[in-house]
Amino acid sequence: MQNYKFVLVSVSGYKKEHDKLLKSLLNQKNELFCVVGKDCEVWEEIMDELSVGDGSNPLPITTTSHPDESITDVIGFAQMFKIEKESGVEVVRI
């Protein structure tokens, strides 16, 4: 089963070079992107910008940031979040 839900645990914070990862998540047709940890709101904003692009071909994805939540709570949120496809949750620490 392919995962279409992604939880990013930000330890180091956002850096411009992380855009490659974010673009790859969009290209993989992820439906949910959750981020917790350092700069989580910045990560979410950048993902939103990348998904919309110039507006001519936006890529659908739900994004959430969780500045004051535990990693466990965010993973639980992602597990319970309903999407079209059957999916587990991929968790990556950066």
Q: pLDDT by residue for the chain (94 residues), tens digit each?
A: 789 999 999 999 999 999 999 999 999 999 999 999 999 999 999 999 999 988 898 899 999 999 999 999 999 999 999 998 999 999 999 9
Residues 66, 38 contacting (CB under 8 angstroms): no
What pTM does this model have?
Answer: 0.94
Query: Residue 17: what are its φ and ψ, rounded to 5°?
Result: -65, -15
Contacts of 51 (CB under 8 A, 6+ apart): 26, 58, 59, 60, 61, 63
